[in-house]
């Protein structure tokens, strides 16, 4: 596992669990509004500073009884060739596993579901399909994302779909995303925020100057969509 960083404790990233967060290095998308270019761009990844996965496992074992689970995020974790094996070891420690993914590798996610390796999955829906290439900086991968969602829908694994409402995405785009993803347990809108370094922390710093919908505007949009997600408590569809 190419691990770039980890946080020993989070109370917010894994629903109803005390968890650690592991950040993998590398991504197959190039979203210009990404806040983690140091985990995405090969030239920005500090290979010498990558963490030892075995040492992280030992640290997690030492926290047995305090931690409930682990969140694996990135970057894009499904690019790691030993992801399933590493997750299996986490499960044997007794930890629940949440996977954060861009959804572009449905076959791998499906195999991990079949092998009982995942307890919760968060999938990014970056844009409506017609704008996927524009918002991800690569060829359109929306069909793969929908395959991942469909695979989860057929499983017993709990999951959510989430959208960071990047500059240029409006109400009609969010409505189109909801129509596209279909019935899911939870849909979450995240407001786009400019990093404190005024955009230097973005993959494309010029996006720091673009206007995006603010949280109050997203809450209004969410209230118009809430009846599509009856199991998801009112007001919880916007985070941040």
Q: What is the CATH number for 23?
A: 3.20.20.70
Per-residue pLDDT, 86 = 98
Q: Which two tokens stand for residue 130?
A: 């017609």
Tell me the backbone φ, ψ of residue 189, rounded to 5 degrees: -100, 130
Q: Is the pLDDT of residue 79 over 60?
A: yes
Cis link prior to 75 (omega < 30° from 0)? yes
Q: Is residue 237 part of a domain?
A: no
Q: Is residue 123 part of a domain?
A: yes
Bridge partners, 96 (sequence order)? 69
Name which of 165, 225, 213, 171 is nearest 189 in CA terms: 165
Mean pLDDT of the chain: 94
Q: What is the mean pLDDT of residues 102-110?
A: 98
Cβ contacts of 14 within 8 Å, gap of 6 or more: 68, 69, 70, 71, 96, 98, 120
Domain count for the chain, please give it. Answer: 1
Q: What is the mean pLDDT of residues 136-162?
A: 97
Q: Is residue 234 part of a domain?
A: no
| CA–CA gap between residue 213 and residue 222 (Å, rounded) | 12
Per-residue pLDDT, 231 = 73
**Which pTM does this prediction carry?**
0.95
Per-residue pLDDT, 199 = 57
Cβ contacts of 117 within 8 Å, gap of 6 or more: 84, 87, 88, 91, 97
Q: Is residue 129 part of a domain?
A: yes
Q: What is the mean pLDDT of residues 43-71?
A: 94
Number of Cβ within a 10 Å radius of residue 87: 22
What are the strands, taking DSSP E only, across the chain?
3-10, 19-24, 69-73, 96-101, 120-124, 158-165, 187-191
Per-residue pLDDT, 104 = 98
Q: What is the pLDDT of residues 180-230, one digit of tens each?
A: 999 999 999 999 998 877 556 899 999 999 999 999 999 999 989 888 887
Per-residue pLDDT, 198 = 56
Range of the domain at 86: 3-228
Number of Cβ within a 10 Å radius of residue 178: 20
Q: Is residue 239 part of a domain?
A: no
Per-residue pLDDT, 229 = 85
Q: Is residue 240 part of a domain?
A: no
Q: Is residue 70 part of a domain?
A: yes
Q: Is residue 174 part of a domain?
A: yes
């Amino acid at each position: 596992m190419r691990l770039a960083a980890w946080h020993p404790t989070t109370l917010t990233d894994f629903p109803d669990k005390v968890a650690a967060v592991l950040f993998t290095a590398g991504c197959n998308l190039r979203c210009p509004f990404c806040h983690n270019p140091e985990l995405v761009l090969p030239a920005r990844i500090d290979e010498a500073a990558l963490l030892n996965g075995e040492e992280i496992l030992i640290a997690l074992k030492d926290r047995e009884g305090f931690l409930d689970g682990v969140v694996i995020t990135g970057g894009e974790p499904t690019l790691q060739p030993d992801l399933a094996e590493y997750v299996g070891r986490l499960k044997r420690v007794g930890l629940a596993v949440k996977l954060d993914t861009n959804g572009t590798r449905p076959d791998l996610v499906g195999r991990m579901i079949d092998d009982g390796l995942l307890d919760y999955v968060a999938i990014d829906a970056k844009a409506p399909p017609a704008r996927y290439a524009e918002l991800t900086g690569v060829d359109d991968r929306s069909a793969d994302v929908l395959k991942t969602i469909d695979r989860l829908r057929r499983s017993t694994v709990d999951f959510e779909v989430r959208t960071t409402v990047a500059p240029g995405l409006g109400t009609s785009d969010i409505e189109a995303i909801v129509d596209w993803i279909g019935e899911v347990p939870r849909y979450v809108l995240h407001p786009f925020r400019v990093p404190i370094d005024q955009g230097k922390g973005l993959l494309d710093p010029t996006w720091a100057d673009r206007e995006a919908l603010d949280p109050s505007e997203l809450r209004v949009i969410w209230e118009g969509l809430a009846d599509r997600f009856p199991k998801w408590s009112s007001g919880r569809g916007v985070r941040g």
